Structure 1
Amino acid sequence: MASFLSSFVNLNSPLSLYTIPVVWFTGFYPHTLKFMTIDKLIGYNNTLPRSSDAKSATGKVPQATQLRLARMEGAHANGNEAMPLWFAAVLAGNLAGLDTHWLNVMALSYVATRVAYNTTYIYYNDVAGGWIRSFFYFFGLSFPLRILFKAASQYAAQHA
């Protein structure tokens, strides 16, 4: 089974486009986690869903939980802010015809940094955790930028 699957899916297969929904999920799951936490602790108001945010839990949950809810919101917002750059990079890389293996390595590395970023953002509430989170953010940012610059160079060379 493994050899059958590996004949279709490997780093030389065009996997990078599949990271678009995966990266969307990495931006969305902190919001879902926040929703599930609020629902479990104080109940979720589905008639006014945006009222069920970290601020609505103030005084109703322990401060540590309140801070974690705020960090979940922050991770979700950051994922939404980073998403367009990733989508553009993957599309540009594929349209420019970048090497599939290299593009897949960049794509999987970016997904890994987004997961690491969210994990440190949500679960670590200290100065060191903040610095580690910032490291993952900026390291992760290097992947779409490298793809975009390489795609632009390759496209320019093809159309010179």
Structure 2
Amino acid sequence: MASYIPDLQTTNISMWTIPAFWVLSLVPRAYGTKLYKKSTNKDFDSRAPRAFISTVENDQALDSATRARILRAEAACSNGFENFGPFCAALVAGNAARLEPVWLNGLSLAYLATRAVFNYVYINNETQSLAAVRSVSYVGGLGMLFTLFIQAGNKLSKSVL
């Protein structure tokens, strides 16, 4: 019987994690807009998505805790978009160098896990200790990307171009 689950030690699925990362980056926006709708009974204006932060900051119908949570969700979303380029570049570098699938898959999937933790903690953060957890998750993810770049650089420096 054929399995639909790839063997992550031999089958490279790392490029499939790029759309997964994009979706994971949009989840905080979806959460924030739903919370805004629930709290104010007003819709997110998709004609001017960059104005959402200003809208939330100035909406008197929001209590301060809800406003802060929505703004943190927006910040998590923005951070995801800001990290999309480095994530893609690390994967392209790793794939161009033909790193072993176990490394490409392991690091790309682990990176997605750090981003999920980052998003969750960022949105729900109300203490300094949770801010530290968010930072550790962020730096841990960056370490994974740097590992991909370093491994790719090491492998490419040994090959004849």
Equivalent positions of 1:141-160 (< 5 A) are: 141-159=142-160
Cα distance in 2 for partners of 1:46, 1:78 equals 20
When residues 106 and 49 of structure 1 are mapped into structure 2, their CA distance, relative to the original with a 3 A threshold, is closer
Residue pair 1:38, 1:52 contacting (<8 A) in 2 also: no
Cα distance in 1 for partners of 2:46, 2:139 equals 36
Give SS of 1:52's match: helix
Q: Which moved more, 1:40-49 or 1:60-69?
A: 40-49
Cα distance in 2 for partners of 1:50, 1:110 equals 27
Cα distance in 2 for partners of 1:96, 1:106 equals 15
When residues 60 and 147 of structure 1 are mapped into structure 2, their CA distance, relative to the original with a 3 A threshold, is same
Residue pair 1:92, 1:151 contacting (<8 A) in 2 also: yes
Q: Which residue of 2 aligns with 1:31?
A: 29
Normalising by the residue count of structure 1, what TM-score does the alignment of the two structures yield? 0.90
List gaps (5 residues or longer) in structure 2: none
Q: Which residue of 2 aligns with 1:55?
A: 57
When residues 75 and 47 of structure 1 are mapped into structure 2, their CA distance, relative to the original with a 3 A threshold, is closer
Q: Is the counterpart of residue 10 in structure 1 residue 16 in structure 2?
A: no
When residues 48 and 142 of structure 1 are mapped into structure 2, their CA distance, relative to the original with a 3 A threshold, is closer
Quote the RMSD (CA, aligned, Å).
1.7
Counterpart amino acid of 1:5? Y
Give SS of 1:125's match: coil
Normalising by the residue count of structure 2, what TM-score does the alignment of the two structures yield? 0.89
Give SS of 1:4's match: coil
Q: Is the counterpart of residue 96 in structure 1 residue 97 in structure 2?
A: yes
- Count of residues in Structure 1 that have an aligned counterpart in Structure 2: 156
CA deviations 1:17-57 (Å, max 9, x no partner) are 11111111121111121112212222123454443333143
Q: Which residue of 2 aligns with 1:40?
A: 38
The percent identity for this pair of structures is: 28
List gaps (5 residues or longer) in structure 1: none
Q: Which moved more, 1:28-37 or 1:107-116?
A: 28-37
When residues 21 and 96 of structure 1 are mapped into structure 2, their CA distance, relative to the original with a 3 A threshold, is same
Give SS of 2:93's match: helix
